[in-house]
Amino acid sequence: MTAIRIADVARSFGEVAAVRGVSLDIADGEFFTLLGPSGCGKTTLLRMVAGFCDLDRGAIHFGDRRIDTVPPHRRNAGMVFQNYAIFPNLTVGGNVAYGLKARGVPAADIAERAARALKLVQLDGYAGRQPHQLSGGQLQRVALARCLVIEPAVLLLDEPLSNLDAQLRVEMRGEIRRLQKSLGITALYVTHDQEEAMSISDRIAVMRLGQVEQLGTPADIYRRPATPFVARFMGTTNLLSGTLTGRSSNRATARVGATDFVIDLGGRPHAAPGAAVSISLRPEALRVLPHGTEPPAGWAALPARIERIEFLGAVTRVELALDDGAILTAAALELPPGEGPVTLAYDPAAVTVFPGDA
């Protein structure tokens, strides 16, 4: 297994700074994801690790070996591309064996290793087929097998599932994670899909404007976003701007419009009363109760009325209006009967607060 160390790397294209001084330490055998919107620099950073894009400054190491000055084919990294990059004139077996032939592996070993790689991705028996005979999911498995057959120290994946339909994406991301864990290989994965990143990653670096906005486990980033951008990008949230109006040792109050929200600071340092703040409250952290119902112990409650209901299967999305007209979105498993007013309850510990406006 091989750790990856990225030290203060940067890259500009003309006047556009694609990557701005990013530093990351990726552990042996870790599944690490670069996540962000289009243009955030994640693919440029991955291409620098692969050797397809030069660095303006900084260094990249695989273990103790500096590799940013080494040609791509000598970095011992396998790359899986978004568009599969399958050779249409070669059979499945020929595609998988291509990297072995290019590395001068003895012919006696090539067939055995290619067959083993195809079995890993559940395509044993497909070696003689042509690429046009395969589905998109099967082509992506061929691309994975071609990458794994060279036994790379590092696996690099650039939005490998973006061309697949929704159900197949879910299946393939589980397959990629299973392979990565079984082989114990270090993986650096790029995606713009938040659910995909959270479902398979050990850690995630959320990128914005060429920099890392937040680094952490999927649970930490989702539950405790570091900035309003991360709160918005990592799923749905109620993001509101207001003013800090009161504070005790472990709790604070934020006035948003005409509504006071209680915040459990949990020992986190924060601004003094009077400062502008924004708060993030996830829809699933809100509980819709019958009007007048007491909330659970330690929770806060607000009077509200239901404005809109969307049934989504496992949960129901509900838009609720507070007394001052502000709209919040909740994700409810069940709703009180009738159409009258309701009580909207939330745990103050589930509120994330940021300095400044959203």
Q: What is the pLDDT of residue 157?
A: 96
| pLDDT tens for each residue of 75-84 | 999 999 888 8
Q: What is the pLDDT of residue 1?
A: 65
What number is the average pLDDT over the span 143-158?
93
| pLDDT tens for each residue of 305-346 | 999 999 988 889 999 999 999 999 999 888 887 777 999 999
Q: Are 314 and 285 in contact (CB under 8 A)?
A: no
**How far apart are the C-alpha atoms of 180 and 189, rounded to whole Å?**
11
**Boundaries of CATH 3.40.50.300 in the chain?**
4-227
Distance of CA 339 to the CA centre of its chain: 38
Q: What is the pLDDT of residue 103?
A: 87
**How far apart are the C-alpha atoms of 155 and 225, rounded to whole Å?**
28
| Type of residue at 303 | P
CA distance to 11, 35, 149, 160, 190, per residue, from 43 (Å): 12, 10, 24, 12, 7
Q: What is the pLDDT of residue 251?
A: 86
Dihedral sign (CA 182, 187, 191, 193): positive
In the chain, pLDDT over 90 holds for what percent of residues? 79
| pLDDT tens for each residue of 239-264 | 999 999 887 778 889 999 999 999 98
* Mean pLDDT of all residues belonging to the chain: 92
Secondary element (H or E) of residue 108? helix 107-120
**4-227 maps to CATH 3.40.50.300:** yes
Strand partners, 322: 304
**How far apart are the C-alpha atoms of 259 and 304, rounded to whole Å?**
11
**Boundaries of CATH 2.40.50.140 in the chain?**
236-355
Half-sphere exposure of 329 (CA within 13 A, CB side): 13
Q: How confident is the model at residue 272 (pLDDT cuts 50, 70, 90)?
A: confident
- pLDDT above 90 (res 19): yes
| pLDDT tens for each residue of 278-299 | 999 999 999 999 998 999 999 9
CATH architecture, range 236-355:
Beta Barrel (2.40)
